[in-house]
Structure 1
Amino acid sequence: MLVDLREVTIDNFEAIIELSLPDEQLGFVSSNLRSIAEARFFPEIAMRAGYVGEEPVGFTMFSLNPSDGCYWIWKLMVDGRHQRKGYGRAMMAQVLERLRTEGESRAVKISWYPDNAGAERFYLGLGFRKTGEINRGQVEAILDLHATG
Protein backbone atom coordinates (compact mmCIF):
# COMPACT_ATOMS: atom_id res chain seq x y z
CA MET A 1 0.00 0.00 0.00
CA LEU A 2 1.31 3.37 -0.96
CA VAL A 3 1.09 6.12 1.63
CA ASP A 4 2.09 9.53 0.35
CA LEU A 5 3.41 12.04 2.89
CA ARG A 6 2.30 15.57 2.05
CA GLU A 7 2.90 18.90 3.71
CA VAL A 8 0.12 20.25 5.87
CA THR A 9 -1.16 23.38 4.13
CA ILE A 10 -4.10 25.75 4.15
CA ASP A 11 -5.70 23.43 1.61
CA ASN A 12 -5.64 20.26 3.71
CA PHE A 13 -5.35 21.24 7.36
CA GLU A 14 -9.11 20.98 7.97
CA ALA A 15 -9.12 17.38 6.75
CA ILE A 16 -6.14 16.67 9.01
CA ILE A 17 -7.78 18.10 12.11
CA GLU A 18 -10.83 15.93 11.43
CA LEU A 19 -8.78 12.71 11.68
CA SER A 20 -9.60 11.00 14.96
CA LEU A 21 -8.59 8.16 17.22
CA PRO A 22 -10.72 5.45 18.83
CA ASP A 23 -12.00 6.45 22.27
CA GLU A 24 -9.52 4.15 24.06
CA GLN A 25 -6.58 6.00 22.45
CA LEU A 26 -7.73 9.59 23.01
CA GLY A 27 -5.48 10.26 26.01
CA PHE A 28 -2.30 9.10 24.30
CA VAL A 29 -1.73 11.96 21.81
CA SER A 30 -2.97 15.51 21.60
CA SER A 31 -5.48 16.50 18.96
CA ASN A 32 -4.18 17.31 15.51
CA LEU A 33 -5.57 20.82 15.89
CA ARG A 34 -3.47 21.39 19.01
CA SER A 35 -0.40 19.84 17.36
CA ILE A 36 -0.71 22.06 14.29
CA ALA A 37 -1.11 25.12 16.53
CA GLU A 38 1.95 24.17 18.62
CA ALA A 39 4.05 23.60 15.51
CA ARG A 40 3.25 27.13 14.38
CA PHE A 41 5.55 28.35 17.17
CA PHE A 42 8.36 25.94 16.24
CA PRO A 43 9.05 26.41 12.52
CA GLU A 44 11.71 23.68 12.56
CA ILE A 45 9.00 21.05 13.07
CA ALA A 46 7.97 19.31 9.87
CA MET A 47 4.31 18.35 9.69
CA ARG A 48 3.19 15.74 7.20
CA ALA A 49 -0.18 14.21 6.42
CA GLY A 50 -0.33 10.60 5.29
CA TYR A 51 -2.55 10.05 2.26
CA VAL A 52 -3.77 6.94 0.49
CA GLY A 53 -4.87 8.24 -2.87
CA GLU A 54 -6.65 11.47 -2.07
CA GLU A 55 -7.81 10.35 1.39
CA PRO A 56 -5.93 11.55 4.47
CA VAL A 57 -5.26 8.65 6.84
CA GLY A 58 -2.71 9.99 9.34
CA PHE A 59 -0.52 12.78 10.62
CA THR A 60 3.07 13.03 11.84
CA MET A 61 5.45 15.69 13.15
CA PHE A 62 9.24 15.51 13.45
CA SER A 63 12.33 17.72 13.78
CA LEU A 64 15.92 17.90 14.90
CA ASN A 65 16.00 18.69 18.61
CA PRO A 66 18.92 21.03 19.32
CA SER A 67 18.89 20.23 23.04
CA ASP A 68 20.02 16.61 22.54
CA GLY A 69 21.16 16.58 18.90
CA CYS A 70 18.71 13.84 17.97
CA TYR A 71 15.79 13.86 15.63
CA TRP A 72 12.47 13.50 17.41
CA ILE A 73 9.23 12.15 16.06
CA TRP A 74 6.86 14.27 18.09
CA LYS A 75 3.70 12.66 16.82
CA LEU A 76 2.44 9.80 14.71
CA MET A 77 -1.27 9.13 14.48
CA VAL A 78 -3.41 7.09 12.14
CA ASP A 79 -7.14 7.72 12.00
CA GLY A 80 -9.10 5.01 13.81
CA ARG A 81 -10.86 3.97 10.58
CA HIS A 82 -7.49 3.28 8.97
CA GLN A 83 -5.56 1.54 11.74
CA ARG A 84 -4.18 -1.99 11.34
CA LYS A 85 -3.75 -1.55 7.58
CA GLY A 86 0.01 -0.88 7.61
CA TYR A 87 -0.34 2.87 7.11
CA GLY A 88 1.46 3.83 10.33
CA ARG A 89 4.38 1.54 9.48
CA ALA A 90 4.51 2.98 5.94
CA MET A 91 4.47 6.54 7.27
CA MET A 92 7.25 5.73 9.74
CA ALA A 93 9.37 4.11 7.02
CA GLN A 94 9.17 7.30 4.96
CA VAL A 95 9.94 9.57 7.90
CA LEU A 96 12.91 7.43 8.97
CA GLU A 97 14.28 7.35 5.42
CA ARG A 98 14.03 11.12 5.19
CA LEU A 99 15.86 11.53 8.50
CA ARG A 100 18.57 9.06 7.40
CA THR A 101 19.21 11.02 4.22
CA GLU A 102 19.18 14.45 5.91
CA GLY A 103 22.15 13.27 7.95
CA GLU A 104 22.07 15.88 10.71
CA SER A 105 21.90 13.18 13.38
CA ARG A 106 22.54 9.46 13.61
CA ALA A 107 19.62 8.86 15.96
CA VAL A 108 15.91 9.48 16.28
CA LYS A 109 13.88 9.43 19.48
CA ILE A 110 10.23 8.90 20.20
CA SER A 111 8.15 8.54 23.35
CA TRP A 112 4.85 7.06 24.48
CA TYR A 113 2.83 6.80 27.67
CA PRO A 114 3.66 3.70 29.74
CA ASP A 115 0.09 2.38 29.51
CA ASN A 116 0.06 2.56 25.70
CA ALA A 117 1.00 -1.06 25.04
CA GLY A 118 0.10 -0.80 21.36
CA ALA A 119 2.55 2.05 20.77
CA GLU A 120 5.26 0.22 22.68
CA ARG A 121 4.85 -2.93 20.56
CA PHE A 122 4.77 -0.86 17.39
CA TYR A 123 7.90 1.22 18.07
CA LEU A 124 9.95 -1.62 19.55
CA GLY A 125 8.96 -3.69 16.50
CA LEU A 126 10.46 -0.97 14.30
CA GLY A 127 13.79 -1.31 16.10
CA PHE A 128 13.54 1.45 18.69
CA ARG A 129 15.01 0.56 22.07
CA LYS A 130 14.09 2.07 25.41
CA THR A 131 16.63 4.53 26.79
CA GLY A 132 15.55 4.05 30.40
CA GLU A 133 14.55 7.70 30.56
CA ILE A 134 11.08 9.03 31.30
CA ASN A 135 10.39 12.25 29.39
CA ARG A 136 7.37 14.25 30.61
CA GLY A 137 5.78 11.07 31.91
CA GLN A 138 6.49 9.14 28.71
CA VAL A 139 8.81 6.22 27.98
CA GLU A 140 11.65 7.42 25.76
CA ALA A 141 13.13 5.24 23.02
CA ILE A 142 15.89 5.69 20.46
CA LEU A 143 16.73 4.26 17.05
CA ASP A 144 20.15 4.32 15.38
CA LEU A 145 19.33 5.53 11.87
CA HIS A 146 22.40 3.85 10.41
CA ALA A 147 22.28 0.49 12.19
CA THR A 148 22.40 -2.53 9.94
CA GLY A 149 20.27 -5.56 10.51
Structure 2
Amino acid sequence: MSLHEVTRDNWYACAALRVSAEQLPHFPFSVLEWIAESKFEPSFRLRAIHAGGDLVGFAVLGKDPDTGEDWIVMLMIDAQHQRRGHGKAAMLRLIDELAAQGGKRILIGHRPANVAASALYAALGFVEVERNDAEIVRALGLR
Protein backbone atom coordinates (compact mmCIF):
# COMPACT_ATOMS: atom_id res chain seq x y z
CA MET A 1 0.00 0.00 0.00
CA SER A 2 1.37 3.41 -0.91
CA LEU A 3 0.13 6.97 -0.91
CA HIS A 4 0.93 9.44 -3.67
CA GLU A 5 0.22 13.12 -4.08
CA VAL A 6 -2.51 13.89 -6.55
CA THR A 7 -0.86 15.69 -9.45
CA ARG A 8 -1.40 16.76 -13.02
CA ASP A 9 -0.41 13.25 -14.04
CA ASN A 10 -2.89 11.27 -11.91
CA TRP A 11 -5.85 13.52 -11.07
CA TYR A 12 -7.94 12.28 -13.97
CA ALA A 13 -7.54 8.63 -12.95
CA CYS A 14 -8.45 9.60 -9.38
CA ALA A 15 -11.57 11.40 -10.63
CA ALA A 16 -12.74 8.12 -12.21
CA LEU A 17 -12.84 6.32 -8.84
CA ARG A 18 -16.34 5.43 -7.64
CA VAL A 19 -18.00 3.87 -4.63
CA SER A 20 -20.76 1.29 -5.04
CA ALA A 21 -24.35 2.42 -5.56
CA GLU A 22 -25.19 1.31 -2.01
CA GLN A 23 -22.48 3.59 -0.61
CA LEU A 24 -23.55 6.75 -2.43
CA PRO A 25 -25.56 8.03 0.58
CA HIS A 26 -22.32 7.93 2.61
CA PHE A 27 -20.28 9.70 -0.09
CA PRO A 28 -22.36 12.61 -1.41
CA PHE A 29 -19.38 14.25 -3.13
CA SER A 30 -17.38 12.79 -5.98
CA VAL A 31 -13.60 12.64 -6.06
CA LEU A 32 -13.71 15.34 -8.73
CA GLU A 33 -15.60 17.63 -6.34
CA TRP A 34 -12.97 17.01 -3.62
CA ILE A 35 -10.21 17.84 -6.10
CA ALA A 36 -12.02 21.07 -7.01
CA GLU A 37 -12.56 22.02 -3.36
CA SER A 38 -8.88 21.46 -2.61
CA LYS A 39 -8.05 24.38 -4.91
CA PHE A 40 -9.87 26.68 -2.49
CA GLU A 41 -9.13 24.97 0.85
CA PRO A 42 -5.42 25.53 1.52
CA SER A 43 -5.10 22.85 4.21
CA PHE A 44 -6.35 20.01 1.99
CA ARG A 45 -3.74 17.48 0.87
CA LEU A 46 -4.93 14.88 -1.63
CA ARG A 47 -3.65 11.31 -1.72
CA ALA A 48 -3.99 8.68 -4.43
CA ILE A 49 -4.01 5.25 -2.80
CA HIS A 50 -2.19 2.46 -4.62
CA ALA A 51 -2.03 -1.27 -3.95
CA GLY A 52 0.75 -2.74 -6.01
CA GLY A 53 0.57 -0.86 -9.27
CA ASP A 54 -3.18 -0.26 -9.11
CA LEU A 55 -4.94 2.94 -8.11
CA VAL A 56 -7.50 1.70 -5.58
CA GLY A 57 -8.64 4.75 -3.64
CA PHE A 58 -8.46 8.39 -2.72
CA ALA A 59 -8.08 10.38 0.49
CA VAL A 60 -8.17 13.98 1.64
CA LEU A 61 -6.10 15.15 4.61
CA GLY A 62 -6.59 18.53 6.27
CA LYS A 63 -6.02 20.67 9.33
CA ASP A 64 -8.62 22.33 11.50
CA PRO A 65 -7.97 26.07 11.06
CA ASP A 66 -8.87 26.81 14.70
CA THR A 67 -7.11 24.00 16.57
CA GLY A 68 -4.45 22.88 14.10
CA GLU A 69 -5.56 19.28 14.58
CA ASP A 70 -5.17 16.84 11.72
CA TRP A 71 -8.19 15.38 9.95
CA ILE A 72 -8.65 12.54 7.56
CA VAL A 73 -11.35 14.48 5.77
CA MET A 74 -12.31 11.75 3.33
CA LEU A 75 -11.28 8.21 2.48
CA MET A 76 -12.75 6.06 -0.24
CA ILE A 77 -11.80 2.80 -1.87
CA ASP A 78 -13.08 2.22 -5.40
CA ALA A 79 -15.99 -0.23 -5.62
CA GLN A 80 -13.92 -2.68 -7.71
CA HIS A 81 -11.22 -2.88 -5.02
CA GLN A 82 -13.28 -3.17 -1.85
CA ARG A 83 -13.32 -6.06 0.62
CA ARG A 84 -9.61 -6.75 0.12
CA GLY A 85 -8.22 -4.94 3.16
CA HIS A 86 -7.31 -1.78 1.24
CA GLY A 87 -9.33 0.51 3.53
CA LYS A 88 -7.51 -0.66 6.64
CA ALA A 89 -4.11 -0.61 4.93
CA ALA A 90 -4.77 2.90 3.62
CA MET A 91 -5.85 4.11 7.06
CA LEU A 92 -2.64 2.77 8.60
CA ARG A 93 -0.55 4.62 5.98
CA LEU A 94 -2.53 7.84 6.51
CA ILE A 95 -2.10 7.55 10.28
CA ASP A 96 1.65 7.02 9.81
CA GLU A 97 1.90 10.07 7.56
CA LEU A 98 0.05 12.30 10.01
CA ALA A 99 1.90 10.91 13.05
CA ALA A 100 5.22 11.69 11.37
CA GLN A 101 4.18 15.36 11.25
CA GLY A 102 4.03 15.50 15.05
CA GLY A 103 0.33 15.99 15.72
CA LYS A 104 -1.26 14.92 19.00
CA ARG A 105 -4.44 13.39 17.57
CA ILE A 106 -6.21 12.62 14.31
CA LEU A 107 -9.91 13.24 13.73
CA ILE A 108 -12.17 11.54 11.21
CA GLY A 109 -15.89 11.75 10.57
CA HIS A 110 -18.41 9.44 9.01
CA ARG A 111 -22.15 9.24 8.46
CA PRO A 112 -23.99 7.43 11.31
CA ALA A 113 -25.37 4.81 8.90
CA ASN A 114 -21.93 3.92 7.55
CA VAL A 115 -21.42 0.88 9.76
CA ALA A 116 -18.41 -0.37 7.77
CA ALA A 117 -16.53 2.88 8.41
CA SER A 118 -17.60 2.87 12.05
CA ALA A 119 -16.27 -0.65 12.58
CA LEU A 120 -12.99 0.04 10.77
CA TYR A 121 -12.23 3.25 12.64
CA ALA A 122 -13.14 1.71 16.02
CA ALA A 123 -10.91 -1.31 15.28
CA LEU A 124 -8.01 1.09 14.61
CA GLY A 125 -8.49 2.79 17.98
CA PHE A 126 -10.55 5.82 17.00
CA VAL A 127 -13.01 6.73 19.77
CA GLU A 128 -16.23 8.65 19.33
CA VAL A 129 -15.91 12.27 20.51
CA GLU A 130 -18.96 13.89 18.91
CA ARG A 131 -22.22 12.82 17.30
CA ASN A 132 -25.14 14.47 15.57
CA ASP A 133 -27.71 13.34 13.02
CA ALA A 134 -25.33 13.94 10.10
CA GLU A 135 -21.93 12.84 11.40
CA ILE A 136 -20.00 10.89 13.98
CA VAL A 137 -16.56 12.32 14.75
CA ARG A 138 -13.87 9.99 16.08
CA ALA A 139 -10.39 10.75 17.40
CA LEU A 140 -7.17 8.79 17.63
CA GLY A 141 -4.61 10.00 20.14
CA LEU A 142 -0.99 9.92 18.99
CA ARG A 143 2.07 9.50 21.18
Deviation of 1:67 after TM superposition, in Å, equals: 1.7
Paired position in structure 2 for 1:95:
94
User: What are structure 1's unaligned runs of at least 5 residues?
Assistant: none
Give RMSD over aligned pairs. Answer: 1.3
Q: Is the 1:96–1:145 Cα contact (8 Å) retained in structure 2?
A: no
Whether 1:6 aligns to 2:4 is: yes
Q: Following superposition of structure 1 onto structure 2, how do residues 108-147 of structure 1 map, counting pairs within 5 Å?
A: 108-134=106-132, 137-146=134-143
User: What are structure 2's unaligned runs of at least 5 residues?
Assistant: none
Paired position in structure 2 for 1:42:
41
With structure 1 as the length reference, what TM-score do the two structures score?
Answer: 0.90
Whether 1:15 aligns to 2:13 is: yes
Q: Percent identity?
A: 35
Poorly superposed stretches of 4+, deviation over 2 Å: none
Equivalent AA in structure 1 for residue 121 of structure 2: Y
Equivalent AA in structure 2 for residue 74 of structure 1: V
Deviation of 1:51 after TM superposition, in Å, equals: 1.2
- Equivalenced residue count is 142
